[in-house]
Amino acid sequence: MRSSSSLAFFLFLGAAAAGPVQKLSPLSLTTLKKVPRGGGLIADYNKALESKPILTKATTSLVGFGVSDALTQLFIEKKDFNLMRLIKMASFGFLLHGTTGHFFYNFLDSVMAGATPAFVAAKVAIDQTLWAPVFMCMFFTYMCLFDGTPELILAKIKQDTFTAVKGSWVTWIPAHTINFAFVPPSQRLLYINAIQIFFNMFMSLLGNKKVD
């Protein structure tokens, strides 16, 4: 309320300084109505999705994974900040999460269009029984390759994949039920990345855990 009052006060001063208020002609009113208004951040995001869907989703994942790792390092681990680790997580989001997510969820929506209870349940089941283990193996492989330790890939997958998948079940079964039931297909990856900011804090810890 205070900001609205202040705005009205300054508008009044501006009008007083400009002199008597002149009546607008019908032509002036018509011109004012035609002045385009900004659509905001969501509208700009939707336009980017339409024009460059893969790049937009990949960039969204880059931001999501980068923010998650930064939060993990700053507020959970509280150690010296590791910039290369941040780049590792963010680049995985850009190169693999955003791109594979685009094609995988588009495929699910193409073969099971609609949000019937049967389709929602089937999509969640496929995502969490088939895609989740594949995604976790892909994630741990990328982590090891980025660190220059390809010889640890199999050991890392054996050590941490089931833990990661169990965490995925706890988080993504309810989250994807909402996702497939209510979220428009074009917005799926944005919704996923919003939730994944918190889930990826768990993945950041697990992905950077040393192989026993």
Q: Give the pLDDT confidence score for residue 16 in this predicted structure.
A: 43
Q: Give the pLDDT confidence score for residue 42 in this predicted structure.
A: 87
Mean per-residue pLDDT for 77-98?
Answer: 97
Given a cut of 50, whether residue 1 has pLDDT beyond it is no
13-69 pLDDT, tens per residue? 344 444 444 444 444 434 434 444 546 888 999 999 999 999 999 999 999 999 999
pTM of the model: 0.80
Given a cut of 70, whether residue 4 has pLDDT beyond it is no
Q: Give the pLDDT confidence score for residue 129 in this predicted structure.
A: 97
Given a cut of 80, whether residue 179 has pLDDT beyond it is yes
Predicted confidence band of residue 80 (pLDDT cuts 50, 70, 90): very high
DSSP string spanning 148-179?
T-GGGHHHHHHHHHHHHHHHHHHHHHHHHHHH
Mean per-residue pLDDT for 66-86?
Answer: 97
107-166 pLDDT, tens per residue? 999 999 999 999 999 999 999 999 999 999 999 999 999 999 999 999 999 999 999 999
Q: Which residues contact 138 (CB under 8 A, 6 or more apart)?
A: 96, 100
For residue 36, give the 3-state DSSP assignment: coil
Question: Cα–Cα distance between 149 and 142 in angstroms, integer?
Answer: 10
